[in-house]
Amino acid sequence: MNILRVKLLISESFYQTSGGQIQMTKPFKNLCCLMNPFHEYRCFSCSPSAPSSSLPWISPLQYLNATSPKPDPPATEATTTMVEPRKKPKFISHESAINLIKRETDPQRALEIFNRVAEQRGFSHNNATYATILHKLAKSKKFQAIDAVLHQMTYETCKFHEGIFLNLMKHFSKLSLHERVVEMFDAIRPIVREKPSLKAISTCLNLLVESNQVDLTRKFLLNSKKSLNLEPNTCIFNILVKHHCKNGDIDSAFEVVEEMKKSHVSYPNLITYSTLINGLCGSGRLKEAIELFEEMVSKDQILPDALTYNALINGFCHGEKVDRALKIMEFMKKNGCNPNVFNYSALMNGFCKEGRLEEAKEVFDEMKSLGLKPDTVGYTTLINFFCRAGRVDEAMELLKDMRENKCRADTVTFNVILGGLCREGRFEEARGMLERLPYEGVYLNKASYRIVLNSLCREGELQKATQLVGLMLGRGVLPHFATSNELLVHLCEAGKVGDAVMALLGLLELGFKPEPNSWALLVELICRERKLLPAFELLDDLVIQEP
């Protein structure tokens, strides 16, 4: 601190005289201590215990001339705020990474998570994490990303399992990408570093057969036999039998069975015989199917199951021999094989096709008495034939029974009911169902509305038809092109020009393009009533709709 500043501070201080003595005020004490931080420990005047009434005076010149040590720099106050140590990022394990990928709905984000996790020190992806990300990408149809991940797998040192590729094969088969199915099979050996198992071969072959890829199936078998030294087992032979039966080539299927019997690692089993019997029944060769059935039981000592019996029951029902099918059902029961829902449904369908509704109802009741719950197809089958026989009330009772048994009726079921009501002229009930069912959570398709609308037009119920068109347009459902034109013509012929115009304008908003004779007739009727302005406006709307 320089001399001028000291003089200035002293001159600004306040002094008081008391008994001839000069006293130093508090500001000067602060200055004194400010100039020398250690002063307060030596200075009596700054000491809290010193009396404030009489203090010795110190000359400024004496103070400035004193050779006191330079004041130390002010002590830095200790930092009271504790700095929290930075948290170490949590290590994401394989299990956590799998859960994160599964929960992520965006496949691109899931792939980012997969890549970010791999950046952790000491982390390497394993079979489970790769399987999870590939499954996510396959479901989202991200084919380029799948190829990139598969390419990355070729450089990994972890052990992979062929299950990853079996899953990808199924995904590609659902998308009808049959070449990619074979590609996934071919990728097993270079990435898994093992020869594909018989399970992998069977899976690929079965997917190709199910998709009816004849040429690709043949090529796959030839390549497998050469490169893998393939010796087909029972499963592979059964797939080939199914392949030929599906194409209606039963003789080739029997040739496969003969090869199967010569093999040391395979022999025909229940699946083989059931497939052959089903193929014979589908081709109408019922006598041969029965003979093969007897050979299976007597010669090979193979007991049939409900699936085998169902092939025979279905075959005889389709061949309009429902009485033979009934005898097969009785034989089935005597031999300790309990019929299932599919057996009863097939027999019931056979009775319905022959118009024997009472017997079909008896089969239905027997099925329920045994504790078997009919499915939607079984109920709908019976409801359909009751409606066609004009017994709609009984069909409605079955619909009620479905609800009580918690069997959900689908769109087909309700369309059958709507058709039955319309055939009996019960249009109000049908229209009431159309209005009510969507609010009850029932999905109705375009056919549901068209069934009722077509019936109303045929019966000349034009006012009700117009009301129904309004309901359809309000729900965004466009009536059939032919029905819409027919309705417009009928309205014009009945002189209901206003209704026809309103219906046409509503149809135009949903993209309907009327036939020339329909709108020409409508414009002509409007002109006859000398309403030229509406006629011009209607023509403008029609011209706008033209491309």
How confident is the model at residue 141, as a pLDDT? Answer: 93
CA distances from 223 to 178, 218, 335, 438 (A): 16, 9, 45, 54
CA nearest neighbour of 147 among 101, 121, 179, 184: 184
- Mean pLDDT of the 371-388 span: 91
For residues 343 and 306, is the Cβ–Cβ distance under 8 A? yes
Residue ranges per structural domain of the chain? 3-65
For 255-284, letters b (16+ CB in 10 Å) and e give ebbeebeeeeebebbbbbbbbbbbbbbbee
| Residue (of 429, 431, 373, 430) closest to 402 by Cα position | 373
- Predicted local confidence at residue 430, as pLDDT: 92
Structure tokens at 279: 């193929």
Q: Which amino acid is at 279?
A: G
- Cβ count near 88 (within 10 Å): 6
pLDDT of residue 440: 87
Average pLDDT of the segment spanning 153-175: 94
Cα–Cα distance list, 423 to 287, 416, 420 (Å): 41, 11, 5
- Reported as a single tens digit per residue, the pLDDT across 410-467 is 999 999 999 999 999 999 999 899 999 988 888 888 888 888 988 888 887 878 888 8
Q: Of 308, 305, 372, 323, which Cα lies nearest the Cα of 345?
A: 372
pLDDT of residue 485: 67
Q: Is the pLDDT of residue 65 over 80?
A: no
Weakest mean pLDDT among 97-101, 308-312, 376-380, 469-473: 469-473
CA distances from 356 to 100, 344, 350, 389 (A): 58, 15, 9, 11
- What is the pLDDT, as a whole number, of residue 512? 57
Q: What is the pLDDT of residue 247?
A: 84
Cα–Cα dist 316/287, whole Å: 10
Which residue(s) pair with 17 in the sheet? Answer: 22
Q: What is the pLDDT of residue 86?
A: 61
Q: What is the pLDDT of residues 14-64, one digit of tens each?
A: 444 444 444 444 444 443 444 444 444 444 444 444 444 344 444 444 434
Encoded tokens for 340: 């299932």
Secondary structure class of 22 (helix, strand, coil)? strand
Find tokens 């002063």 and name the residue.
39
Burial classification of residue 443, based on how many CB atoms lie within 10 Å of its CB (0-12 exposed, 13-18 middle, 19 or more buried): exposed
Q: By C-alpha distance, which of 166, 132, 163 is closest to 149?
A: 132
